[in-house]
Structure formats: C-alpha cells, structure tokens
Chain A
Amino acid sequence: MDASSIDFLVAALRIATPLLFAALGGILSERAGVFAVGLEGMMLAGAFGATVATFLTGHAAFGFLASIVAGACLAAMIAIVTVRFQAEQMVTGLAANILAIGLTSFLLRSFVGRGQAPVIQVALLPAWPVPGLADLPWIGPLLFQQPPLTYLALLLTVPIYLMLMRTQPGLLLRAVGENPIAAFAIGAQPLRVRALAVIACGAITGLGGAVLALQQIGTFSDGMTYGRGYIALAAIIVGRWMPFGTLVACLVFGAAEALYLRVQAIGLPISSYVVQMLPYLIALAVLAGLGRSARLPAAIGVAYDPKG
C-alpha cells in the first residue's frame, strides 16, 4: 500500500467521523422508537457549542462539554414534543432542525458578534499519536495518529453495541422501540426510556458537531453541518439499525466522498452531484430491497400513550 492509498483511507475516516457520532446517537433514538430526523440540528447545535465554548474559554475540553450539552438540549425539546406530547416525529425533527439553524445563527450574531457575523477561529485539535503503535507501517498513520474524537468515535461503537444488545437497559430500550405496551407490562416506563434515549442521542450527536468544529473546520458558520445529519440517517438505514453495520456504512459513505475528491484530482469525468447522491441512493435501495423484511424497529414513529 503506497502513501496515496493511506491518504485516501485517512480522508475517508475523516469524513466518516462526524457521521459516525450522529449515526450512533441516532441508533439509540430510533431503536427506542423515535425517528432521528433531528440529527442535523443536534449536530449543528453541537458544533455551535463546541466553537463558542472553546473560543471563550480557550480549552477544547469545555468545547466537548458544550457540544454535548447543546446537542442534548435540542434533543430534550424534541423529546418533550414527541414523547410527552406524542407529536408526529418526522415533522418535529424538521422543526427542530429549522430552530437549530435559526438559533445558532441568531445567538452567534447577537451575543458573540454584537449584531454582525463574528469571525471566531479556534485552533484545530492536534493528532494524539498512540505511543508504540503510531509508527507501525501504514496502519499507524491511519489508526493511531488521529485527533482525540476520532478514537472516541471508533471506540464508542463497541460500548453502544454491548449496551444495546447485551445489557438489561439495552434490552429495555429495544423492547420500548418494538412494543411499548409489552415493555410497560413487564415494568418498563416507555416514556422515560424514550426520552432518555433521545437525549442521549443528542449528547452523542453533539460530539459529531464538535468533530466538525474543532477537528476539521476550526470555526462556526451558519448551517455548517450541510446535511450531514441526514446522511447519518441514511447510514443508520444502510447499517440496518446495528452499530457495527452503521460504522461500515459511515466508512463506505466517507470512502465514496474521498474517492470523488481523488477522481477529481486525476480529472476523471464523474459528477460531484452523482457522488453526493450515493448515500441517499444506497439507503433507498436498501430500504426497497429489505421491503417487508425491513428491520425497522416495529413501533418507530408510533406514539406511546400511557392512558390507552
């Protein structure tokens, strides 16, 4: 494997990292029965929190924390409307995304920029080479010379998988997403489980925004997530609501975009628009192909009414 192939894989991983946070968060929400259309807004809120907190305090750690809190706050609003009031989940997600675009832009201009769009630059997080492993041939640069959140994204897949598939709370979460009435019958509290799952989704997805802001772009601009939340939604579908499958889907989407960048450099006539369509086309094909056997959580989108 030559240097340029490693560059390609590094680029794919870089593009996949923010998607992975959002998609892993989204799995928790959707497995509990709440469509995660709000990923885009949660990610944007996270990017906003990360940039502003890092800019004001000078410490990236506060940025991480702020991204988690910002994502969770937006998610809490979605949870109140969809779980407590049982509103239509998809439309609620869209509304939250509109709110996030407006609110981040407004807050940035009003409180940081005194009416204007401020220029706030934050230093990009440096790579944290893993001692001993970073110098390995070709796998070192790819997997062990990354900035901190990239390690976290890759590692997070394992605990989320274990929690979801191998623990009591994970079983409960899935039960609520499949059949909330049955879950209630065995003593679970479907409303609480769903609300917690959505808020946890927001916290994790917010970190995806921190990846964009602190590891890749170094500032906040209006709508900077640019549809990544929706691509993460497609990745969840392609990964069939399983953490490892979704990890692979994110990497494939990242590789497709990285491939496009390379193809462009060589000068092959492939349209950028067609490449950008791939995630959505693949997700549609997977949905259509699964058809009746689609392993969509059975009670996703269905409100649970404790009174009846």
Chain B
Amino acid sequence: MTTAAEGARLQLPALMQRVALTQESLIRAALAVAAALVCTAVLIALSGKDPVIAYLALFSGAFGSIDRVAFALNKATPYLLAGIGIALCFRAKIINIGGEGQIAIGGLGATWAALALPVAHPTAAIALALAAAMAGGALWAGVATIIHLSRRVHEVLVTLLLNFIALLIIGEALHGSLGEVGAGFPQSPLLPATAWLPKLWPRTPLHIGFAIAVVAAVGAYVLLWRTTFGFAIRVAGASRPAALYAGLSVPSITITVMLLAGALAGLAGGVEVLGVHYRLIEGFSYGFGFNAVAIALLGALQPLALIPAALFLGFLEAGALAMQRQVGVPSSLVAVIEGLTMLFILAAMASAERKPQ
C-alpha cells in the first residue's frame, strides 16, 4: 500500500518537469514581449520622440489612479475569458479562431435576454442574461463544430468565416428588432438596471466580470491538469494516434472543448455588454477575439498564466491613450506591440516544439 508521502514522491518528478516546462514557455513569452517593446522603442526613437518618456507616460497612464486601474482590469476581462477557451482548444490542437464571432453572439444573447425576459430580482436577471450569453457563444461554436466534423472542413476556415457572419448578424439585429429607435447609431436600448453587473470596487468602473474571469481561469487550470477530461485534451493535442490508441474519441473531445470555448467567449461578450456599456453597440467587440488569441499565446496556453497576459494587454491599452495625449506618440503603437509580440511568440513556440524534448 502506498502512503500519501510515497504518492507525492512519485508525482514529484512529473510536477517538477511541468513546472520547468511552464517556466520555460513563460520565459519565452516574457522575452517576446521584451523584444517587441525594444522594436517599438526603436520606432518611437526614429519618429523623433524619446521612447523612455513615452513608456513612462504609458505606465503612469495605466497605473496612475484607481479609475485607470479599474479601466484596465475591465479591458482585460473579456480577453481573459475568451482566451481561456481558446487556450483549451489550442491545447487539444483545435485551432479555433472563432472567438470574435462567439463573443459577438454572446453579447447579442445577453442583450436579448435582458430586454425580452424582464426579471425583477437582480441576481436572477444577471444569471439569466449571462446564461443566455454563454448559450449564444456555445451555439455559434457548435455551428462551427458541426460543419467541421460532419463535412470535414478545416476548423480554422469555418471559425474564421463564421466570425464575419456573426458580426453582420449583430448589425442586422441592431438595425431591426433590437435596435433603439431614433438613436442615430446602431445600438440597442439601454438594458434594465437589474441586469447590470454589480461593481467589484465601489465608485470605480470595475465590475465583477474580472472576478468571474479569474475564477474561470482557475477552473480551467483544474480541468486541464486535475481531471480525466483535461488529460484527454492534452493527449489529443499531443498526438492524435496516441489518443485513438488510448480509446479516446477525438470528435467528442472536439465537441466538448469547442462548446466550452464558445460558452466562455459568449460569457466574455455578455460581461462586456452587462458590465461596461449596458447596451449592445455595433462593433463593441471588434478585435476582442483576435486579442484573446494573443492572450492565449502570451500565457503559453497555461490557464493561470493567462491572467498576467490579459492584464498586460489591458494595461497596455489603458495606458496608450495617455501616452498619445501626453507625448504625442500615436496609440496605434499598441497594435504594433501586440502584433510583434504574437509573431515572436509564435516563432519561439514553434521552434521549441521542434526541439527534441
């Protein structure tokens, strides 16, 4: 009979190895961020501005006041939620880039539920709207999965094409039954206040969405490393033949992980609508899905490491506007940093994967 201590000793090498691998991939991510920041610093210097002053302005813009921090955390929230689902998909080697569309449909679901199903009790109203958001996101991911599995179409193509259709559905809904009459801009009427997300920190914009996202990250960590299904995800991602040999059904793994990712992305859309805008606005989530992919890569597909990755992006975006105002360095620099970071990480991840372990 093995004692608990023996069991722990048996697990220790595996755990150490995992920690080492995680550290290695996180160091790679940090190096990629640093390289991107250096490249953009050179760009700033070439444009005749001092990169140190620009970065300091960015930093103080991001952390300067409680409101700024709250703003940045709100920014990070949808990226984190959607990024977790994408990381799970990528872990299983399912390249789901449909976050953009799933987030949008999630926002639509939350809006519809909040407007069409008035519930007096705030907790119930919020729960219902968020459930509708998750259902919407999962539905959109489900459509992609059905086409992918039944017609054997590459999942990247299906999820990519469905993104654009989803964004146009939002536009159509806002010009039709869901739109606010006479608003002059494609947006829904203001949602009933019972469905608004409560504040996490009173008198700041920070809503409870960030707490939900952190809980989701912890849940995904447990799922991935502590459950049989998480093991199945990792086996399917590491080697499809091994998964088949182990008697795992790759299609059912695909369906489950896609629906999960869709629900999380939908939740991201719902949280953005119920926590920030209190209404559905055309284009409210433009770029969120692609940023979520960036987060997933930046966090090396480790659910817990996604939290600092999302914070990095949130603070970067929050600080960029201040940098533009104070130093005159355009805020579009953020997209340059994001794009370069992603390219560096992709290259580093791929070359690490090729290295014999």
| Interface positions of A (Cβ within 8 A of B) | 35, 37, 77, 80-81, 84-88, 90-92, 94-103, 105-106, 109-111, 115, 222, 227, 230, 233-234, 237, 271, 273-274, 276-277, 280-281, 283-284, 287-289, 291-292, 294, 296, 301, 303, 305, 307
Contact = CB atoms under 8 A, between A and B. Distances in A.
Interface stretch (B16-24, B167-175, B260-268): B167-175
Contacts of B15: none
Nearest to B348: A85
Category for how many chain B residues contact A: 35 or more
Contact of A102 (B44, B293, B333, B347): B333
**What are the 3 closest A-B residue pairs judged by CB atoms, nearest first?**
A102-B335, A99-B339, A95-B342
A277 B165 contact: yes
Nearest to A35: B156
A210 to B, nearest CB: 22
A86 B158 contact: no
Contact of B153 (A274, A294, A307): A294
A99 B297 contact: no
B340 to A, nearest CB: 6
Nearest to A115: B328
Interface of B: 43-44, 47-49, 95, 97, 147, 151-154, 156-158, 160-162, 164-165, 168-169, 171-172, 175-176, 287, 290, 293-294, 297, 328-330, 332-340, 342-343, 346-351, 354
B351 A85 contact: yes
Given A91-B342, A95-B339, A109-B330, A287 B151 contact: yes
A292 B152 CA distance: 6
Contact of A91 (B95, B287, B338): B95
A195 to B, nearest CB: 14
Contacts of A100: 339
A96 B347 contact: no
Given A37-B160, A106-B330, A281-B165, A88 B340 contact: no
Interface centre among B97, B161, B171, B328 (most CB of A within 10 A): B161
B253 to A, nearest CB: 19
Contact of B161 (A77, A88, A98, A280): A280
Contacts of A77: 343
A106 B333 contact: yes
A56 B162 CA distance: 40
A109 B43 CA distance: 12
A115 B48 CA distance: 10
Nearest to A305: B354
A246 B339 CA distance: 30
B339 A103 contact: yes
A111 B47 contact: yes
B171 A273 contact: yes
Q: In the complex, which of the residues B172, B287, B346 has the most CB atoms of chain A within 10 Å of its own CB atom?
A: B346
Indicate the member of A95, A99, A230 with the most B CB atoms within 10 Å: A95
A274 B175 CA distance: 12
